[in-house]
Amino acid sequence: MKLCTFNAGQDDRVGLTIDGETIVDVNLAYAGILNAAGEPKASSLADVVAPPEIIELIKGGASTEVALGEVAKAAAKGGLAGPNGEQAMFKADDVHIKAPVPAPSKIFAIAINNKQKFHIAEKPDCEEHPNYFIKVPTCLTGPYDPIEIPDIGIVGSEIEVAAVISKTARFVKPEDAMDHIYGFMTHNDITAHELRDTSEWIVSKRPEGDVRLTYSGRYKCFDTFSPMGPWLVTKDEIKDINNLSMVARHNGKDVQVGSTDDMVFGWDYLIPYLSAAHTLYPGDIVSWGTVISPEGVNFQKIDLRGEGGYLESEVEQLGTLNNPIKPI
């Protein structure tokens, strides 16, 4: 199932698409289906079983899955409408498609998780583990929205796959990890690479010795630095999450190429590892880490703002972001 959050002029709504071109308003369509079946309280029931807000929908149980299945089945036939004839099907081009989960409680992003870079890096003398940082929801922007880049030196692409958490949990076991993931999305973890190197660090002199500290609050977190979507693809649709090709193109030229097979730490490691420290909530996002550049390109030197144009981020089976670059 491919879900999204879209806006057709009023409130944000959960959408479902079969072909990527038509978006069905899940809540209205389900109310319409119930109404046609003679259910007297179709709208109230649909609000509970097929809520119009994505995190509420993710929290839903078996009855929500049934509702989504019915909407998907009916959508394939077409002609869906709300219980009072409201428009429930939209052309994707006619609505604003937003980040699929526009207001998550948390956004984790895993640092340096590709085999090529991880294995040559110098690491602490302990069991190998990932590092990570937190992004803020104001980073999120839709799959076709502009990425707004201030004059802060080189800002570049970091294409990633992001998972959406399905339920509240702490201390998840490796064998249960996939039960805690609802689905996956394409994400570009836009990064101010130059700012990171030149200004977001300090070497603190401490009685116990010097410590070089880098802080990711700014260089990862400017508004619009997380284009995401267009779809939240439920995990059952994905054949092999560990073998999806990933490519980022700047004005048509490949600047990052790789695969989810490049990741050092997989979901059976990451979900237990994160949940050992933090209670996970439905709708939380975990971005998996980026991939490297093709031969002859260094993606950390690609100056999106200086060169302008647009950035495409494509992950096999998940979908493609296509964001214009807007210098501000």
Binding site for other proteins (CB under 8 A): 103, 105-106, 108-109, 111-112, 117-118, 120-124, 126, 129, 131-138, 150, 170, 196-218, 221-223, 276-279, 281, 293, 298, 300
Report how far residue 169's alpha carbon sits from residue 181's, in angstroms, rounded to the nearest whole number. Answer: 11
The CB-of-29 to other proteins minimum distance in angstroms stands at 31
Q: Are 270 and 110 in contact (CB under 8 A)?
A: yes
The CB-of-199 to other proteins minimum distance in angstroms stands at 4
The CB-of-60 to other proteins minimum distance in angstroms stands at 21
83 or 102: whose CB is closer to other proteins? 102
Beta strand 159-165 pairing with 201-204:
unpaired
197 or 314: whose CB is closer to other proteins? 197
The distance from CA 218 to its chain's CA centroid, rounded to whole angstroms, is 20
Total Cβ atoms within 10 A of residue 184: 27
90 or 269: whose CB is closer to other proteins? 269
76 or 134: whose CB is closer to other proteins? 134
The CB-of-86 to other proteins minimum distance in angstroms stands at 29
Q: Cis peptide before 230, with omega less than 30 degrees from 0?
A: yes
Report how far residue 286's alpha carbon sits from residue 271's, in angstroms, rounded to the nearest whole number. Answer: 9
98 or 106: whose CB is closer to other proteins? 106
115 or 117: whose CB is closer to other proteins? 117
Q: Are 233 and 72 in contact (CB under 8 A)?
A: no
> What is the torsional sign of CA 118, 122, 125, 130?
negative
Q: 161-173 b/e with 16+ CB inside 10 Å = b?
A: bbbbbbeebeebe
Please list, in sequence order, all residues whose beta carbon lies within 8 angstroms of the beta carbon of residue 153, skipping any fewer than 6 positions away: 192, 193, 194, 195, 198
The CB-of-277 to other proteins minimum distance in angstroms stands at 5
The CB-of-202 to other proteins minimum distance in angstroms stands at 5
57 or 140: whose CB is closer to other proteins? 140
Closest to 13 in 3D by CA, of 106, 66, 90: 90
Distance of CA 32 to CAs 54, 69, 77, 253, Å? Answer: 19, 14, 14, 45
The CB-of-278 to other proteins minimum distance in angstroms stands at 5
The CB-of-187 to other proteins minimum distance in angstroms stands at 16
Q: Strands, E, within 28-95: which ranges?
A: 89-91
135 or 249: whose CB is closer to other proteins? 135
